[in-house]
Structure 1
Amino acid sequence: MRILLIKTSSLGDLIHTFPAISDAVTQMPNIVFDWVVEESFTEIPTWHPSVHTVIPIAMRRWRNSLLSISLKHEVSLCVQQIRKQNYDLIIDAQGLIKSALFTYLAKGNSVGLDWHSAREPLASMLYKQCHVVPHNLHAVERIRQLFAKALKYTIPKTPAKYGLQLPFALTNGISNNLVRKDHTPYLVFIPATTWPSKHWPVLYWVNLIKMATSYNYQVFIPWYSPKEQQLAESILNQAQAGTILPRQSLTDLAKWLVNAAGVVGVDTGLVHIASALEVPVISLYGPTSSKLTGTLGVAQRILNANFPCAPCRRKVCNYHLQSVVQPACFNDITPILVWNSLQKLIKY
């Protein structure tokens, strides 16, 4: 049985989809998936052994190049690739109008969330079959339910299993002499994300690095954009310890994560990857809620802000009263609390 999966972005949302694929494979061993995904995330679906073909799209880039001469040709080639195969089923796990359009264009019986369940209700009008999935479930469980209803099986009662398989050897770290040859354990700290309000205070990161290095851990910070690089360099310069990683692919970053003794990070995609890889993870949530889209894994703990206006779900903090740190909602998620929580996970 061949399924076309439509789930184009974002990084965390893609990771949330893997348990549903693992469920389906457990119930239907001969099932295989093709996956339509944003071009910047094409590595990610390949981490699951039951994903056969990855079909890249470029909605984010296309929106910024509507006047490009090559745009029409590029979109046409993409549609041809989507329509090349006759699928037994097409599942839109995104529930947006843009994802529903690709579902509609593909050849086969299309399935998605109904009017009351989809994030953008109009998307449901483009499916041949619609299913009700409650909004008050974690994203992982919502997708698991959608798959189970679409493929007509009962969700396993076991906890969600991501089922990721990727080369675990950290060859790039060894060749660059970043990892000590005596195999000293290391930690990965992930301070950067798109929303300024999600940033744990720089002073807290500095103090956490000092605690970690005092226990003889190496500390590494990854980055992607120039702003993330600047943030990492600022933290490490103030801490006078730790190492910034070179910019690299998501697969290479995943190798760093899976080989780490532990990971600490804010609400961002790399932290979801670490949780899926069953690495000890401390996730820091301030302006956003972890209830429906938080990290989910067997070896992780979420620290939620306990603050009057949290979670505010604002990209920029607008709390104007006096506070020791900014964003103010992180005040009580102190470095010592994070460190003690991480140590318990590592020892466990």
Structure 2
Amino acid sequence: MKRVLIIKTSSLGDIVHTLPAINDASLAIPDIKFDWIIEENFSEIPTLNDQIDQIIPVSIRKWRKNLLKFRTSKDFSELKRKLSLHHYDAIIDAQGLLKSAWLASKAVGNRYGFDWASAREPLASIFYHRRINVPKDIHAVERIRILFSKSLGYVLNSSEGNFNLTYDQGNDKYVILMHGTTWFSKHWPEESWIKLSCLLSKSDYKVVLLWGNDQEKARAERIAKNSEANVLPKMKLTDIVSLIAKATGCISVDTGLGHLSSAMGKPTLGIYGPTNPVLTGLYGSRRQNFLSDFPCLCMSKKCPFSLREDRSCRGFEELTADIIYDKFIKLVGDEGVSNGFEYPKNKEKDK
């Protein structure tokens, strides 16, 4: 049996993007087992995949506030204990950051990762025994699939990746609006969310809003106050998975929950402005990435072209609620996938 350690600690979208590579490896090497080092806040995601043997939760975001104290803590001792249980056939750092490379160095076995030209933080590559060149101009899912195939020595097939998630499915008539994201520039304007919610309600869909912090809760409440949407209580990730599984579909900005919904095969429409859907767009069997015909793609938390007080991306100006609604209704009724991304044809602004 071959045992592989994966290091991919965060964020939610990045973790979801790793799952197809795990499925590829499991098909190519039937007796393979995976352990996964992952931020404890996201440790429920690997439980949806039966190919993961051991989940090793970490709290890097908490530890890095006081690294010296962490090195003498019980948490560090427990991490070393878990990593000492196996001599790994391969240790794959799928993140390419200094923090993930440091974690990889604490395990025993040959370490694989992106080379200097491919890693997000090039210095991370000095920690690896084998450094692998992977193009940067392809989707994140495909980058990780290539990394795994070259690390483990199998031929990668050309078909689209399979997330292989296990969950109880349903089909209730409600739509989840995923408005929350950490970047100000990724925020679709509130007035657009309000109008979209009203359009969906008129079509007899129940509209629900998620939130993860006080700021997102306040935004959700403002949207609900001016529409017929429902603000849900704060939910654990496993409960959100169950919610997504039973939904008609989801509409999302570029955020982790949107990537999770798409991975679960739910009709999911992604609204893109400052980030590039070619590189980090929704990936799954029933998804559509929608990009303005003013494609900002500034890749910045503060859009340099923004003309709004809320600092949302200028590229969103072309993506009206009417356009998003029409595309979502079409996506829900379409059994196939809408590949790539589209530009809007209608330039009418939301009133």
Compute the TM-score of the two structures, normalised by the length of structure 1. Answer: 0.90
Q: Is the 8 A contact 1:281 1:301 kept in 2?
A: yes
**Within the alignment, does 1:287 sit opposite 2:274 as a pair?**
yes
Q: How does 1:45-84 map to 2 (within 5 A)?
A: 45-66=46-67, 72-84=73-85
**Within the alignment, does 1:113 sit opposite 2:114 as a pair?**
yes
Give, as a single letter, the amino acid of the residue that structure 2 aligns with 1:198: K
> Using the alignment, how far apart are the partners of 1:19 and 1:76 within structure 2?
32
What's the offset of the Cα at 1:326? 5.2
Which residue matches 1:86?
Answer: 87
> Using the alignment, how far apart are the partners of 1:114 and 1:320 within structure 2?
35
Gaps of 5+ in 2: 335-351
Which residue matches 1:340?
Answer: 326
Give, as a single letter, the amino acid of the residue that structure 2 aligns with 1:305: S
1:286–1:82 distance in 2 versus 1, CA, 3 Å: same
**Within the alignment, does 1:226 sit opposite 2:227 as a pair?**
no
> Using the alignment, how far apart are the partners of 1:260 and 1:300 within structure 2?
14
Which residue matches 2:162?
Answer: 161
> Using the alignment, how far apart are the partners of 1:256 and 1:87 within structure 2?
36
**Within the alignment, does 1:273 sit opposite 2:270 as a pair?**
no
Which residue matches 1:173?
Answer: none
The CA deviation string for residues 72-110 of structure 1, in whole angstroms up to 9 with x for no partner, is 332222122122211111111111111111111101111
> Using the alignment, how far apart are the partners of 2:305 and 2:38 within structure 1?
37
Which residue matches 1:178?
Answer: none
The CA deviation string for residues 87-135 of structure 1, in whole angstroms up to 9 with x for no partner, is 1111111111111111111011111111221111221111111211111
Which residue matches 1:330?
Answer: 316
> Using the alignment, how far apart are the partners of 1:94 and 1:225 within structure 2?
26
Q: How does 1:284-323 map to 2 (within 5 A)?
A: 284-307=271-294, 310-319=296-305
Which residue matches 2:346?
Answer: none
Number of matched residues? Answer: 332
1:141–1:322 distance in 2 versus 1, CA, 3 Å: closer
1:327–1:93 distance in 2 versus 1, CA, 3 Å: closer
> Using the alignment, how far apart are the partners of 1:250 and 1:322 within structure 2?
32
> Using the alignment, how far apart are the partners of 2:94 and 2:145 within structure 1?
10
What's the offset of the Cα at 1:321? 5.0
Specify the SS of the correspondent of 2:278.
coil
Specify the SS of the correspondent of 1:204.
helix
> Using the alignment, how far apart are the partners of 1:297 and 1:68 within structure 2?
42
Give, as a single letter, the amino acid of the residue that structure 2 aligns with 1:102: L
Give, as a single letter, the amino acid of the residue that structure 2 aligns with 1:283: G
Which residue matches 1:140?
Answer: 141
The CA deviation string for residues 34-65 of structure 1, in whole angstroms up to 9 with x for no partner, is 00011111111111110011001111011224
Q: How does 1:9-28 map to 2 (within 5 A)?
A: 9-28=10-29
Gaps of 5+ in 1: 170-182
> Using the alignment, how far apart are the partners of 1:127 and 1:337 within structure 2?
47
Which residue matches 1:128?
Answer: 129
> Using the alignment, how far apart are the partners of 2:75 and 2:137 within structure 1?
39
Q: Is the 8 A contact 1:184 1:218 kept in 2?
A: no
Compute the TM-score of the two structures, normalised by the length of structure 2. Answer: 0.90
Q: Is the 8 A contact 2:262 2:283 kept in 1?
A: yes
Specify the SS of the correspondent of 1:313.
coil
> Using the alignment, how far apart are the partners of 2:308 and 2:26 within structure 1?
53
Moved more, 14-23 or 311-320: 311-320
Q: Is the 8 A contact 2:252 2:258 kept in 1?
A: yes
Give, as a single letter, the amino acid of the residue that structure 1 aligns with 2:196: L
**Within the alignment, does 1:195 sit opposite 2:195 as a pair?**
no
Specify the SS of the correspondent of 2:302.
coil
> Using the alignment, how far apart are the partners of 1:321 and 1:103 within structure 2?
43
1:108–1:299 distance in 2 versus 1, CA, 3 Å: same
> Using the alignment, how far apart are the partners of 1:115 and 1:64 within structure 2?
27
Give, as a single letter, the amino acid of the residue that structure 2 aligns with 1:319: F
Specify the SS of the correspondent of 1:344.
helix
Give, as a single letter, the amino acid of the residue that structure 2 aligns with 1:330: F
> Using the alignment, how far apart are the partners of 2:250 and 2:187 within structure 1?
16
1:229–1:320 distance in 2 versus 1, CA, 3 Å: closer
Q: Is the 8 A contact 1:62 1:71 kept in 2?
A: no
Specify the SS of the correspondent of 1:331.
helix
Which residue matches 1:175?
Answer: none
**Within the alignment, does 1:264 sit opposite 2:265 as a pair?**
no
**Within the alignment, does 1:6 sit opposite 2:7 as a pair?**
yes
Q: Is the 8 A contact 1:185 1:217 kept in 2?
A: yes
What's the offset of the Cα at 1:217? 0.5
The CA deviation string for residues 1-28 of structure 1, in whole angstroms up to 9 with x for no partner, is 1111111111100000000001011111
Which residue matches 1:100?
Answer: 101
For the aligned residue pairs, the C-alpha RMSD in angstroms reads 2.0
What's the offset of the Cα at 1:270? 0.1
> Using the alignment, how far apart are the partners of 1:327 and 1:48 within structure 2?
35
